[in-house]
Chains A and B, each alone.
Chain A
Amino acid sequence: MQTAINLHNISVQYRAPEERIGTFKEYAIRLLQKKIKHKTFLALNDISLEIKEGDTFGILGRNGAGKSTLLKVISRVLAPTKGRVQIRGRVSPLLELGAGFHPELTGRENIFLNGALLGHSYHEIEARLESIIKFSEIEGFIEAPIRTYSTGMVARLGFAVATAWKPEILILDEVLSVGDEAFQQKCQIKLDELRSGNVTTILVSHNVNTMQALCTRAIWLDHGEVRASGDAARVIQIYKEQNL
């Protein structure tokens, strides 16, 4: 089994928000007064982990534990302050459904725009166009500008574009709830289909039960540090003992 994700001693250091200098004027004044102090905050502290190809890997932790930051490092959105990142395979985006859509463009035009944002070529998008439209169930409105869509329609279209290509590494952040119950079921089937084969899945959730059902290995993050890692059942056990 090959390694899909390998993180060595990853640290991410943010500058504390209250110390951020917003304007150039403020910066110039502070520079003259020599008052620039950097308060920092470690979002991730020396994290090392290895995820094997085809594994379903869970990330447990409370809000602010560093889960999102870790996902950002894995999806190459955030360059860590320290440490080495090795990724094998395409990572599915952390796209909030519909981010990047333009209200004035039609559904069809937005599919091309969104597909291109996800890194797909014009021809790749054209090849999937029909199935995306069909999945999102907005055939009748595909030539109308997106600003006329309901929230549910936008979310459905966003989901359809984001899941049209099968990634090698799939990130599932929280529970996806799109549209009505029937559509949610359709989403679940689609996600199961994406997870099938040799796809590596990273699951982030507060829900210990979902995680127990799906994950083989897991990590528990707390204040940017690893509290436990390894076999999912064992990590969940430790997490439960300490938290519940």
Chain B
Amino acid sequence: MSKNTDLFEYDNAKRIHPALEELRGIIQYKDLVFQLIRRDIISRYKRSALGVAWTMLQPLGMMIILSIVFSNLFHAVRGYPVYILSGLLAWTFFSQTTTAAVIQIVWGATLFHRIYLPRTSFPVSAIGTGLVNLILGLIPLFFILLATGVPITWNILFLPVGILLLTAFALGIALILSTAAVYFPDVAEMYQVVLLGWMYLTPIIYPEDILPEPLRFWLTSFNPMYYLIKIFHAVIYSGELPSLRILLVGSFVSFATLAVGWLFFSKKADEFTYYI
């Protein structure tokens, strides 16, 4: 028998740290992540006449409704539609991806029983799908900026940093939630309620200065999404760079959440087939 050097070998006594194993796996299975993203996008719009245009029309419709309903209430806010849309894009990305990750892990469970896959493929591809939608959603935002006369500055080039931090945070939360959902399926339901409350407690549809003082301090300082959405507001709506404090706290919270989520998920991943 000739020795085949690139023969796949597995020995459970010689496994590397699960977090690294997952990382290596996801790099190896990058084409799967791509195919899953493709599947999500194709299957979502295949039977609709306007197709992918819905990705752009959805936040736009929401923005129009909110603008009509709230513009009298917050008439002091100049360029209110842009304020709403910039915050809403970030929020929608976060709520959609984290919810999708939970659904995907439950769907993926049937496959986990049959083939080996890096288990992170599903949360990671959920985030990927959200990123595609987010980028498509920026197109109508650009037109709204032009239409409302809110000036576009060079600071908008800082937006990718905001997207990066938001992605890291969303992936971290997605990993923690989908792990929890394996053990307790009703996490998915509970999370929907949490999301609704969380959205109203974050200054997205209202400007933050309408909050009375003690409340404002609590709602902003301890809310990770406040920092991340603030970056979107700064570079798109205000045309400024985010403050250093916002950026530092935002980065720390995002990457810490991602690290905790990745470690937690990979540590538990071997147990998934025992539970679902």
Contacts and interface: CB of A to CB of B under 8 A. Distances in A.
Given A1-B1, A25-B186, A99 B110 contact: yes
Chain A binding surface, main DSSP class:
loop
A99 B190 CA distance: 29
Interface size on B, as a range, is 35 or more
Interface stretch (B31-39, B170-178, B247-255): B31-39
A85 B12 CA distance: 6
Given A79-B270, A86-B11, A145-B46, A117 B32 contact: yes
B270 to A, nearest CB: 4
B1 A102 contact: no
Interface in B46-94: 46-47
A117 B115 contact: yes
Given A22-B184, A93-B114, A121-B31, A72 B273 contact: yes
B8 interface: yes
A186 interface: no
A96 B43 contact: no
Contact of B43 (A1, A105, A121): A105
Contacts of B9: 86-89
B39 A168 contact: no
Interface in B133-170: none
Given A79-B270, A85-B11, A24 B43 contact: no
A80 interface: yes
A118 B115 contact: yes
A225 interface: no
Interface string A19-34: 0111111010000000
A120 B185 CA distance: 31
Interface string A57-77: 000000000000000100111
A151 interface: no
A128 interface: no
A46 B1 CA distance: 31
Interface in B238-276: 270-271, 273-275
A84 B13 contact: yes
Most buried by B among A72, A87, A96, A117: A117
Nearest to B47: A104
B103 interface: no
Interface stretch (A108-116, A135-143, A177-185, A203-211): A108-116
A80 B15 CA distance: 13
A105 B39 contact: yes
A-B interface, 10 closest residue pairs, ranked by CB to CB distance from nearest = A24-B184, A116-B32, A93-B115, A116-B35, A79-B270, A104-B43, A87-B10, A76-B116, A94-B114, A85-B12
Interface of A: 1-2, 14-15, 20-25, 27, 53, 72, 75-80, 84-90, 93-96, 99-100, 102, 104-105, 109, 112-113, 116-122, 145, 168, 198
Given A77-B115, A78-B273, A116-B35, 19 more contacts: A2-B1, A72-B273, A79-B12, A86-B10, A86-B11, A87-B11, A88-B8, A94-B113, A100-B111, A113-B35, A113-B39, A116-B29, A116-B31, A117-B32, A117-B115, A117-B117, A119-B116, A122-B34, A145-B46
